[in-house]
């Protein structure tokens, strides 16, 4: 499909990952994303943590699966595991890839220690929120010999073990840690941009150089230029947007803001959304997000008569069907074989 932006150099991006040792499958996925950017938008969906009806609910409603599945490393956080949390998202992601889908992971990182653990809204289960922990990121990072610093490394190592399983299965991952940092509602953003940027770089170094994870495409989602860790550490820029119910605007202002975070051309994605944007509005406004990823729960499904069905509270069914069957969007059945997608050569 063509549109009036097809010749816009804004969307002409070289598929050069920041990790020079990136796996072939990671490079193939990046090549596809670069080839598609400005021409098609991949439809994505985040699954729930305790229950995950979203993908099947969408298939029942539209006859299609989204191209991109969203998963979460949350319950692999050590302070959750120690309290009995379980997670199968790594296995689900491997299956999703083998079924022909693209995988993205975020990490609602439970604070490594100092959880307040007071009900109703400051329990350990909410330990990624600033108000549920007294963990001081700036203090921990200031002393590499401190317990807090070591606990940070322990958590990164635990998540790296799960990511390694994905690499061994050949799965490239759109990796989106430390999301929405500038909001301050997560502990990794509570001490301002400096410590958060330092944590991003520490995680990048630990995962890339120490654990030698080469299948990650690094998606930065800090949402403010002051929090940008620098082009050598970022492959793709993401924005999380939750408009009012039935607001199908393109979110062009946020798209343009994301483009301004760096002078280097980067792919821009709608990494979380509640309401779905209208593809015609996106095309009209040149707000051509590389993909979207609708959040789980009530943004997608609701239980009626003891079964999960599509929920029209945020996006009406007719709008969902428009998106899933629009020539600008890509569903899983329309994806190429990303295990054999042509690799681009670089000078």
pLDDT in tens, 27-57: 999 999 999 999 999 999 999 998 899 999 9
CB 271 within 8 A of CB 44: no
Q: Rounded mean pLDDT of the chain?
A: 95
Residue 164 is predicted with a pLDDT of: 98
Q: Average of pLDDT values for 4-31?
A: 87
Residue 54 among the catalytic residues: no
Integer Cα distance of 240 and 112 in angstroms:
25
pLDDT in tens, 97-145: 999 999 999 999 999 999 999 999 899 999 999 999 999 999 999 999 9
Which of the residues 54, 167, 180, 239 is marked catalytic? 180
pLDDT in tens, 218-248: 999 999 999 999 999 999 999 999 999 999 9
Residue 14 among the catalytic residues: no
pLDDT over 60 at 207, yes or no: yes
Integer Cα distance of 21 and 198 in angstroms:
22
Please report, for residues 314, 319, 321, 325, the alpha-carbon distance to residue 245 in angstroms, rounded to integers and kept in the order given.
Answer: 4, 12, 17, 21
Which of the residues 54, 167, 239, 272 is marked catalytic? 272
Q: Domain 25-334 belongs to what architecture?
A: Alpha-Beta Barrel (3.20)
pLDDT over 90 at 345, yes or no: no
């Amino acid at each position: 499909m063509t549109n009036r932006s097809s010749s816009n150099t804004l969307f002409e991006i070289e598929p050069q990952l920041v990790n020079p040792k990136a796996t072939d499958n990671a490079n193939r996925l990046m090549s596809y994303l670069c080839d598609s950017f400005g021409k098609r938008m991949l439809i994505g969906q985040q699954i729930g943590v305790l229950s995950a009806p979203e993908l099947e609910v969408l298939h029942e409603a539209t006859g299609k699966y989204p191209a991109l599945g969203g998963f979460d490393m949350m319950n692999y956080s050590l302070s959750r595991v120690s309290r009995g949390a379980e997670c199968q998202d790594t296995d689900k992601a491997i299956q999703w890839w083998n079924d022909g889908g693209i995988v993205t992971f975020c990490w609602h990182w439970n604070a490594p220690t100092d959880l307040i653990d007071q009900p109703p809204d400051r329990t350990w289960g909410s330990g990624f929120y600033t108000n549920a922990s007294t963990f001081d990121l700036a203090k921990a990072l200031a002393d590499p010999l401190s317990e807090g610093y070591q606990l940070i490394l322990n958590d990164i190592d635990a998540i790296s073990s799960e990511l390694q399983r994905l690499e061994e299965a050949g799965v490239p991952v759109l990796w989106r840690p430390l999301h929405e940092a500038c909001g301050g509602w997560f502990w990794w953003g509570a001490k301002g941009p400096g410590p958060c940027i330092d944590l991003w770089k520490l995680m990048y170094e630990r995962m890339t150089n120490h654990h030698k994870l080469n299948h990650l495409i690094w998606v930065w989602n800090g949402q403010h230029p002051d929090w940008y860790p620098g082009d050598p550490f970022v492959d793709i820029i993401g924005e999380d947007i939750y408009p009012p119910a039935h607001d199908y605007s393109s979110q062009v202002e946020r798209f343009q803001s994301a483009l301004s975070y760096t002078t280097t051309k980067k792919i821009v994605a709608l990494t979380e959304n509640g309401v779905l944007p209208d593809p015609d509005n996106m095309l009209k406004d040149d707000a051509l997000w590389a993909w979207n990823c609708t959040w789980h729960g009530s943004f997608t499904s609701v239980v009626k008569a003891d079964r999960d069905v599509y929920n029209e509270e945020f996006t009406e069914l007719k709008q969902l069907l428009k998106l899933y069957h629009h020539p600008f969007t890509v569903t899983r059945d329309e994806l190429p074989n990303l295990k054999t997608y042509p690799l681009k050569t670089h000078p």
